[in-house]
C-alpha cells in the first residue's frame, strides 16, 4: 500500500522529494517534484478563489447595520474556503504543486454583473519571486466593496510523533510515515473595505488560517485548516474562527466554529458551527452558509489578447505539457522561462534599474492592520502590505 497514489515510474523521485521536504530550508516552490504532483496553474490564479461566489461579496454592501455586515462578511469568507483549499482535490484528485510565479507576473479576471449585483474585477501581481509573495485586489465598484491583500507562506515539515519513530524501528515504515505532514503558515493579511451610504468606509482586517498538508507519504496530499483566524471590523465587531479536522479516532474533516463578538464585549452574540466545505448553522439551528451548490469561475481574456507577463500566456507551453503528459516539453519550457528571468535580473542589476511593480506599492507598515489587530489576540502587532493602484497610462 506504500505511496499508492504515486505512478510506478515516479516512486523514486517522490521518495527524493519527501527526503528534500524533511530537510526543508526555505522555498518549497523551487524544489523539484515529480510530474504527477505538478499543477498546470500558477499561484497567481489562486486569489480568484476569494470571489467565486460574487453574489455573497456584493451582498456585504446590503447589510443594514454593523452587526448585519459583520455576519455577511463572515458568511462570504467561510464560503471561500472550499474553493481555496479543496478545489485541486476535486479537479485533479489531490493537492498539487502550483507553478512558481515569476516576478511581475499578472493575472486579471472578472465576474459579470448579474441580477444587479455589479461586476467584480480581479487584479493580481507577483510582487516578490523569492520569497514568493502575491498581491491581489478585488473590487465591486457598483456595490462599493473592495478587498486588498497579499499572501506568502512559511512551511515546515513534521517528521512524525515520537511514538511513530519508535514504531519505525520495530514495526513497518507505513505506521511512521503516516504521521508526517507539512505545516504551512500563511504570511500576510487582507483588508476589506465597504463603502457605506454616508460615504464613509467600514474596514475589515482578515487574517489567514494555517494549513496542514497530510497524505504526502501516499502521494495524495490534501489540506486541513488549523488554529484560528480573525475578521476584525472598524465598527468593533470581531469574528474569531477556530478550525479543526478529523481527530485521531473520530470527528469530521473541515470543521469550524466562529464566535462573533460585539464592540467592547468579550461574550459572543453569535456562534456559528459547521463544516466549511458544506454547511453551517447558528446556535438556534438557523442555516448560515451553504457551499454545496455550484460556484462561478473567473472569466479571463483569450490568450491572444493577453500581455507577455499575464499568467496563462506566460505559462501556456508549460501548462500544455503538464496537461497532455508531455513532461519533457513542460520542463524544457519551464527552464526557458527561468533562464530568461535570471538574465533579466542580471541585466537590471548591471543597469541599476530594478524591476518596477505595475499595480502594487510596498509599505513597511499597514496602518489599517495596526489599528484593527488590536481587536485580535496572539498575532503580530504590525505587518507590511502592498497597496493597489491602477496604472495611469
Residues contributing to the site for ligand HCR (CB under 6 A)? 28-29, 37, 46, 49, 84-85, 95-98, 151, 153, 184, 186, 211, 213, 216, 221, 223
**Closer by beta carbon to ligand HCR, 237 or else 366:** 366
Q: How far is the CB of 215 from ligand HCR (least distance, A)?
A: 9
Helix/strand/coil (H, E, C) string of the chain? CCCCCCCHHHHHHHHHHHHHHHCCCCCCCCCCCCHHHEEEEEHHHHHHHHHCCHHHHHHHHHCCCHHHHHHHHHHHHHHHHHHHHHHHHHHHCCCCEEECCCCCCEEEEEECCCCCCCCEEEEEEEEECCCCEEEEEEEECCCCEEEEEEEEEEEEEECCCHHHHHHHHHCCHHHHHCCCEEEEEEECEEEEEEECCCCCEEEEEEECCEEEEECCCCCCCEEEEECEEEEEECCCCEEEEEEECCCCCCCCCCEEEEEEECCCCCCCCEEEEEECCCEEEECCCCEEEECCCCCCCCECCCHHHCCCCEHHHHCHHHHHHHHHCCHHHHHHHHHHHHHHHHHHHHHHHHHCCCCCCCCEEEECCCHHHHHHHHHCCCCCCCCCEEEECCCCC
**Closer by beta carbon to ligand HCR, 30 or else 324:** 30
Q: How far is the CB of 95 from ligand HCR (least distance, A)?
A: 5
Q: How far is the CB of 36 from ligand HCR (least distance, A)?
A: 11
Q: How far is the CB of 28 from ligand HCR (least distance, A)?
A: 5
Count the neighbouring beta carbons within 10 Å of the beta carbon of residue 273.
15
Contact between 234 and 69 (Cβ < 8 Å)? no
**Closer by beta carbon to ligand HCR, 220 or else 275:** 220
Q: How far is the CB of 39 from ligand HCR (least distance, A)?
A: 9
**Closer by beta carbon to ligand HCR, 146 or else 151:** 151
**Closer by beta carbon to ligand HCR, 153 or else 233:** 153
**Closer by beta carbon to ligand HCR, 142 or else 186:** 186
**Closer by beta carbon to ligand HCR, 95 or else 383:** 95
Q: How far is the CB of 267 from ligand HCR (least distance, A)?
A: 31
**Closer by beta carbon to ligand HCR, 80 or else 234:** 80
Contact between 303 and 316 (Cβ < 8 Å)? yes
**Closer by beta carbon to ligand HCR, 18 or else 337:** 18
Using CB atoms within 10 Å of the CB of residue 19, give its burial: 0 to 12 exposed, 13 to 18 middle, 19+ buried: exposed
Q: How far is the CB of 37 from ligand HCR (least distance, A)?
A: 6
Q: How far is the CB of 260 from ligand HCR (least distance, A)?
A: 23
Q: How far is the CB of 29 from ligand HCR (least distance, A)?
A: 6
Count the neighbouring beta carbons within 10 Å of the beta carbon of residue 84.
20
Amino acid at each position: 500500500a506504500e505511496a499508492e497514489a504515486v505512478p510506478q515510474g515516479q516512486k523514486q523521485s517522490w521518495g527524493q522529494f519527501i527526503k528534500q521536504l524533511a530537510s526543508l530550508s526555505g522555498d518549497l516552490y523551487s524544489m523539484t517534484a515529480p510530474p504527477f504532483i505538478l499543477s498546470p496553474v500558477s499561484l497567481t490564479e489562486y486569489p480568484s478563489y476569494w470571489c467565486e461566489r460574487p453574489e455573497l461579496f456584493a451582498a456585504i454592501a446590503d447589510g443594514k447595520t454593523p452587526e448585519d455586515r459583520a455576519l455577511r462578511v463572515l458568511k462570504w469568507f467561510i464560503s471561500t474556503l472550499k474553493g481555496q483549499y479543496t478545489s485541486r482535490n476535486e479537479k485533479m484528485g489531490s493537492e498539487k504543486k502550483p507553478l512558481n510565479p515569476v516576478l511581475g507576473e499578472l493575472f486579471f479576471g472578472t465576474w459579470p454583473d448579474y441580477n444587479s449585483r455589479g461586476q467584480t474585477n480581479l487584479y493580481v501581481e507577483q510582487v516578490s519571486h523569492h520569497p514568493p509573495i502575491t498581491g491581489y485586489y478585488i473590487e465591486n465598484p457598483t456595490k462599493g466593496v473592495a478587498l486588498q491583500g497579499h499572501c506568502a507562506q512559511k512551511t515546515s515539515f513534521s517528521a512524525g510523533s515520537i511514538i511513530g519513530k519508535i514504531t519505525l524501528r520495530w514495526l513497518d515504515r507505513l505506521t511512521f510515515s503516516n504521521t508526517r505532514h507539512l505545516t504551512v503558515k500563511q504570511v500576510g493579511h487582507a483588508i476589506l473595505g465597504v463603502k457605506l451610504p454616508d460615504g464613509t468606509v467600514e474596514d475589515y482586517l482578515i487574517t489567514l488560517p494555517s494549513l496542514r498538508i497530510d497524505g504526502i507519504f501516499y502521494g495524495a496530499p490534501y489540506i486541513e485548516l488549523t488554529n484560528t483566524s480573525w475578521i476584525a471590523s472598524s465598527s468593533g465587531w470581531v469574528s474569531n474562527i477556530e478550525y479543526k479536522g478529523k481527530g485521531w479516532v473520530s470527528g469530521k474533516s473541515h470543521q469550524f466554529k466562529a464566535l462573533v463578538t460585539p464592540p467592547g464585549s468579550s461574550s459572543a452574540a453569535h456562534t456559528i458551527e459547521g463544516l466549511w466545505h458544506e454547511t453551517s448553522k447558528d446556535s438556534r439551528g438557523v442555516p448560515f452558509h451553504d457551499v454545496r451548490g455550484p460556484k462561478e469561475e473567473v472569466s479571463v481574456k483569450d490568450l491572444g489578447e493577453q500581455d507577455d507577463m499575464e499568467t496563462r500566456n506566460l505559462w501556456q507551453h508549460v501548462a500544455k505539457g503538464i496537461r497532455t503528459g508531455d513532461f519533457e516539453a513542460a520542463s524544457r519550457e519551464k527552464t526557458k522561462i527561468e533562464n530568461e528571468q535570471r538574465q533579466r535580473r542580471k541585466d537590471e542589476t548591471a543597469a541599476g534599474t530594478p524591476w518596477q511593480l505595475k499595480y502594487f506599492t510596498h509599505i513597511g507598515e499597514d496602518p489599517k492592520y495596526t489599528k484593527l489587530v488590536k481587536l485580535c489576540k496572539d498575532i503580530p502587532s504590525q505587518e507590511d502590505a502592498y497597496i493597489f493602484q491602477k496604472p495611469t497610462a
